[in-house]
Structure 1
Amino acid sequence: MGSNIPDRDIRLDACRGIALWFVFINHIPGNICSWLTLSHYGFSDTTEVFMFVSGLTCTMAYGHVFRSAGSWATICHTVRRSWEIYSAFLLLTLFLVVAVHRMDADLADEVNVAIVLQQPGEALSRAAILQYRPVNTDVLPTFVLFHLVFAPWLLLLLRWPNATLAASALLYGLVQIYGWNFRGWPTNDWYFNPLAWQFLVTLGGWWVVVGRWRLMAFVTSRPMIVLSAAYLIWSLAVAMSWISPALELAVPQFLKGLIYPINKPDLDPLRLLHFLALAICITNLVPVHWAALRSSALLGAVRCGENSLEIYCVGVLLSLAAYIVLRTVSDGALAQVIVSGTGIALLTVFATLLTGFTGLAAPRIRLL
């Protein structure tokens, strides 16, 4: 049990690092550089990449812990990581409140921290139980819950992988039908519904345990590649209709009724299918030992992927700082390119330093 779990694939860190760069860019409102990311070209975006890759990497790392040290060690690792993400979420919340209060109080409503300034005791207590979340921090509480239950989930996945995947898919389907979610505060549900997004994490874990052996031939088959590419092209056409009136008129009314709304909080099936099609195409286009992954151009992405929690939190703060700069200095296209490039460079330098410091310390699991 767990003996077939593979070693870490550098492509995973590269994908997660690039996803973190895209997240930073997309968190800057009105940023022209967002056209370099996935968000404008289909139904899914970097969130799906992040969730799936986290399922892969967590299963690999904690699977090795389980195999070498047993279930109690696995529980200790996952609970500790849950606590680290929880602590990072609370610290990031406080930093955002202080940053907005000191740098640009007019952004309080936009960053969703005005409620903290008005009701600090209530808001912070709600943050402590993960009900209140400032803008761009929503994914962290979801990962807190995922890591809390990861150890028993992993044991089920290693013993009964297909049954665990089926149960996960059933829960995902029920969420699509009944809209189950956790309540937020002061209004709205959780933006990244754990009851829905758990399916993508489970799918990543299932792929590590048994899926790659059973479905790799199917995933790399020509019909599957063609079908995936066709779906990506169709979703691109639909996505382009959102910004082009001429293309919008070309989308039949009955089709609009079938596909809209494409719900992100509950991981709409169209988003799920788009990500799977994208993953199939990337799997076939990017080999495991692709030399470019070791190049200086992508090494920065790998380093960011290795330190995902820290880079995500710093990226949220940098995106706020970049937005304030654009508001106060210039919001022209050149300024947007400069602040975006500077932010990515700072994230890369920070991640490289973190990797260097971590290499000098005792090795440990760093997963989001």
Structure 2
Amino acid sequence: MVMTKVPAPPPCGASVEIVTISSVDLSDAREPMRWREAPVDLGKHRDSAAPNTDFRPTPAEIGPDAEVLLGRLLHLERELLAAPPKPRTSVLPELKMPGRDLRIDACRGIALWCIFLNHIPNNIGSWLTLRNYGFSDSAEVFMFASGVTCAIAYGKAHERGGWMGVLGRTLQRSWDIYAAFLLLILACAVVVYLAGGGGLADETNTRILLEHPGATLAQAAILQYRPVNTDVLPLFVIFHLLFAPLLWLMLRVPNVALGASLLLYASVHLFGWTVPAWPNNAWFFNPLAWQLLVVLGAWCVTEGMKFWPRLSSRLALGLAVLYLAFSLTIALGWSIRPPEVLVPQILTKLPYLAGKSDLDPLRLLHFIALAILVVWLVPRNWRGLSTPAMRGAIRCGENPLAIYCLGVLLALAGHIALVKISDELAMQIALSFVGILVMIAAATLLSSIRTKPGQRQPLMTSDFIAEDARRNASPVRPLNR
């Protein structure tokens, strides 16, 4: 309340009139300010020539001080009306950034290339992959990137359709992977059969399928039988089925979810927990251990941005570089005979300890160190992402299921070519180069078919199988926790 003394109208002589100016609450203002009428005694103006029916004081009548106050209030009103309203709900950290992070697609596409090169036995092209220069390889990159894109894609499904929408989407995508897994098994069996079987059937673990197709397909239907190089698909069937409860935890208690995942991972190494399989009773990728990378990827989307300043510090970068240099020395030393030339004899057994089936801690630490270094060296707007090679990797990363299945068949065909035709160095290089070109061409074709003519490229990548999440380019809205 502001009280201002101003001179009374001329007929009143030396008398003084008190004019009351009421302030208004501008916090909820949504339209121009309206001044409240001040009560005026009409008896004081009975001598006026004409009665004044407008009882709202003007700035000239209330004096210079009140005029300054009125100007300040109007200026404050304009500022409040121009300011955007603050969001009432929290937003997933990664979802705040517009568009998709092409680095995720590029890393996943390069991982698919490396997986293809590694699946061809005795291939010189495998020296271009990670497995020869450290403890981890492309599988860790692929799993982590899939966890990131799962959180983004299913987070958008939750925003559009709630938890029933997430459940429906996860069931649908799990079915897609499951169907692709069974079709890939049949395709591998047909290729091996046409190639004459023999030793190739033993190397690809398809002899039992060719000799006992009924029982083997029954075991494959319950994810117990897996030919060589198809092990990753059953993992994703399970992970997608369970991603709805994981997302529920990630949106509410992300650190608790990550802690539970770490506890399960530690139990695998302390107590030897595993999942039964057929016929050798072992999964090459133990789901109880490899789930950690998927959970870690989802955690980085929902909560990781709060901890990123610590991971991006110079100390963390220095430790990552030292560990990568150490693992590089061990890996290169193991490739040389005798390995004691580069590393002490006590360290030559480390590659054996860094087992892949249970995701040994040496492999996990190597991947984390590699991820820290890559994020430091490759910014989000890196110009290299627009080069033809990176564009090809991005296209492959956008179509991971189809390109993975194609890579398995191409690797099998390359293996047959090396055995039946020639295993010379030129043949190995040609098979590696042509195989990657075929993968890029297939991914480009799939993207062009999915994108309608005249339609802009979507803004957000899907997860490993949730390709339809890319079809909607609407901006992401906040998720209610």
Shorter-chain TM-score category? over 0.9
Alignment-mate amino acid for residue 151 of structure 2:
T
- What SS is found at the alignment partner of 2:202? coil
Inter-partner Cα distance in structure 2 for 1:234 and 1:210: 30
Residue number among 383, 387, 391 corresponding to 1:295 in the alignment: 387
Partner of 1:15: 107
1:240-291 Cα offsets, whole Å, 9 max, x none, are 1222134436544554577742211110000000000000000000010111
Structure scoring higher RCO (CA < 8 A, sep ≥ 6) equals 1
Distance in 2, matches of 1:98 and 1:225, equals 49
State the distance in 2 between where 1:9 and 1:39 align: 25
- Whichever structure has more helix as a proportion of its residues is 1
Equivalent residue, structure 2, for 1:83: 175
Q: Is the 8 A contact 1:26 1:34 kept in 2?
A: yes
CA deviations on 1:90-145 (whole Å, 9 max, x unpaired) are 00000000110012312111110000111111110000000000000001001100
The residue aligned with 1:346 is 438
Taking structure 1 as reference, are residues 259 and 98 closer, same or farther at Cα in structure 2, changes over 3 Å only?
closer
**1:2–1:67 Cα contact (<8 Å) kept:** no
Provide the rounded CA distance (Å) in 1 between the counterparts of 2:274 and 2:452: 42
Contact 2:152 2:463 in 1 (8 A): no
How far is 1:322 from its partner? 1.1
Cα distance in structure 1, aligned partners of 2:128 and 2:344: 28
Change (3 A) 1:250 1:329: closer
1:304-348 residue CA offsets vs partner (Å, 9 max, x unmatched): 000000000010001111111121221111110111100000000
1:144 aligned residue = 237
* Contact 1:57–1:367, Cα closer than 8 Å, also in 2: yes
- Once the two structures are superposed, the pairs formed by residues 87-236 of structure 1 within 5 Å of their partners are 87-106=179-198, 107-212=200-305, 214-236=306-328
CA contact (8 A) 1:43 1:271 kept: yes
Where does residue 237 of structure 1 map in the other structure? Answer: 329
Change (3 A) 1:29 1:258: closer
> Quick one: distance in 2 between partners of 1:133 and 1:145?
14
In 1, Cα distance between equivalents of 2:464 and 2:426: 35
Gap runs ≥5 in structure 1: none
User: Larger radius of gyration, structure 1 or 2?
Assistant: 2
Q: Given the superposition, is the C-alpha separation of residues 235 and 366 from structure 1 closer, same or farther in structure 2, using an over 3 Å criterion?
A: closer
Match of 1:34 in 2: 126
Q: Within 2, Cα distance between the matches of 1:92 and 1:56?
A: 26
* CA RMSD in angstroms, aligned pairs only: 1.8
Work out whether 1:367 is the aligned partner of 2:464.
yes
> Cα deviations across residues 134-159 of structure 1 (Å, max 9, x unaligned)?
00000100110000001111111111
**Percent of aligned pairs with the same amino acid:** 51
Q: Is the 8 A contact 2:108 2:141 kept in 1?
A: yes
Q: CA contact under 8 A between 1:104 and 1:324: conserved in structure 2?
A: no
| Distance (Å, rounded) in 2 between the aligned partners of 1:340 and 1:216 | 37
Q: Which amino acid aligns with 1:139?
A: V
Q: 2:396 aligns with which of 304, 329, 341?
A: 304
Maintained 8 Å contact 1:228/1:277: yes
Query: Quick one: which amino acid aligns to residue 367 of structure 1?
Result: F
1:320 corresponding residue in structure 2: 412
Partner of 1:360: helix, strand, or coil?
Answer: coil
Check whether the contact 2:334–2:351 (CA below 8 A) recurs between aligned residues.
no
Partner of 2:91: 3
SS, match of residue 109 in structure 1: helix
Task: Determine if contact 2:393/2:440 at 8 Å carries over to the other structure.
Answer: yes
Superposed CA offset, 1:30-89 (max 9, x none) = 000100010100000000000000000110111111123211101111111110000000
| Residues 108 and 114 in structure 1, CA contact (< 8 A), matched pair in contact too | yes
- Structure 2 letter corresponding to 1:162: N
The alpha-carbon deviation at position 360 of structure 1 amounts to: 2.6
Instruction: Name the CA shift for 1:2/1:113 in 2 (closer, same or farther; >3 Å).
Output: farther
1:297–1:147 CA distance, 2 compared to 1 (3 A):
same
User: TM-score, structure 1 length as denominator?
Assistant: 0.96
* Structure 1 residues 25 and 260: CA distance shift in structure 2, 3 A: closer
Gaps of 5+ in 2: 1-88, 466-481
| Contact 1:2 1:158 survives alignment (8 Å) | no
Number of matched residues?
Answer: 367
**Matching of residues 209-288 of structure 1 within 5 Å:** 209-212=302-305, 214-248=306-340, 251-252=343-344, 254-255=346-347, 260-288=352-380
Moved more, 289-298 or 170-179: 289-298
Q: Is the 8 A contact 2:149 2:463 kept in 1?
A: no
**SS of aligned partner of 1:105:** coil
Q: Distance in 1 between matches of 2:219 and 2:319?
A: 45
Matched residues in 1 for 2:338 and 2:285: separation? Answer: 33
Say if 2:416 is the partner of 1:333: no
Which residue identity lines up with residue 197 of structure 1 in the other structure? W
Using the size of structure 2 for normalisation, the TM-score is: 0.74
Contact map agreement 1:14 1:298 (CA 8 A) in 2: yes
Change (3 A) 1:13 1:121: same
Amino acid in structure 1 at the alignment position of 2:169? H
Corresponding letter in the other structure for 1:323? H
What is the one-letter code of the residue matched to 1:232?
L
Partner of 1:136, secondary structure, is coil
